[in-house]
Amino acid sequence: MVLAGLDLGGTKCAAVLAQVQGDETKFLCRKEVPTVGDWRSITDALLAYLAHERTARGVEIAACGISCGGPLDGQRGVILRPPNLLSFSNVAIVDYVQEKLGVPAKLQNDADACALAEWKFGAGRGTRNMIFLTFGTGLGAGLILDGKLYTGARNLAGEVGHMRLKAEGPLGYGKRGSWEGFCSGGGIRAQILQHFGEDFDARELQVRAEQGDEKAVALYHEIGANFGRGLAVLVDLLNPELIVAGSIFARAHSLLYDAAMQALREEALPESLEGFRLRPAQLGNQIGDYAAVAIAI
CATH number of the structural domain spanning residue 222? 3.30.420.40
pTM listed for this prediction: 0.85
State whether 83 and 174 are in the same domain: no
State whether 291 and 253 are in the same domain: no
Strand boundaries in 88-205, DSSP class E: 105-109, 130-133, 141-145, 148-150, 171-172, 175-176
pLDDT band at 170; cut points 50, 70, 90: very high
**Cα(215)–Cα(205) distance, integer angstroms:** 9
40 assigned to some structural domain: yes
**Cα(221)–Cα(173) distance, integer angstroms:** 22
State whether 162 and 266 are in the same domain: yes
State whether 160 and 104 are in the same domain: no
Query: Is residue 61 scored above 90 in pLDDT?
Result: yes
pLDDT of residue 154: 80
pLDDT of residue 135: 93
Q: Which helix (H) or strand (E) holds 210?
A: helix 202-210
Cβ(90)–Cβ(200) below 8 Å: no
Q: What is the pLDDT of residues 112-133, one digit of tens each?
A: 999 999 998 899 999 999 999 9
Give the Cβ contact number of residue 50 at 10 Å.
Answer: 23
Q: What is the pLDDT of residues 202-225, one digit of tens each?
A: 999 999 999 999 999 999 999 999
Query: Who has greater pLDDT, 45 or 138?
Result: 45
pLDDT of residue 253: 95
State whether 82 and 145 are in the same domain: no
**Cα(143)–Cα(244) distance, integer angstroms:** 11
State whether 147 and 263 are in the same domain: yes
236 assigned to some structural domain: yes
pLDDT of residue 115: 96
Cβ(250)–Cβ(285) below 8 Å: no
Query: Is residue 44 scored above 80 in pLDDT?
Result: yes
pLDDT of residue 284: 87
Query: Is residue 24 scored above 90 in pLDDT?
Result: no
State whether 67 and 171 are in the same domain: no
**Cα(12)–Cα(137) distance, integer angstroms:** 10
27 assigned to some structural domain: yes
- Tell me the average pLDDT of the chain: 94
State whether 170 and 277 are in the same domain: yes
25 assigned to some structural domain: yes
Task: List the domain range (segments joined by +) for residue 164.
Answer: 125-281
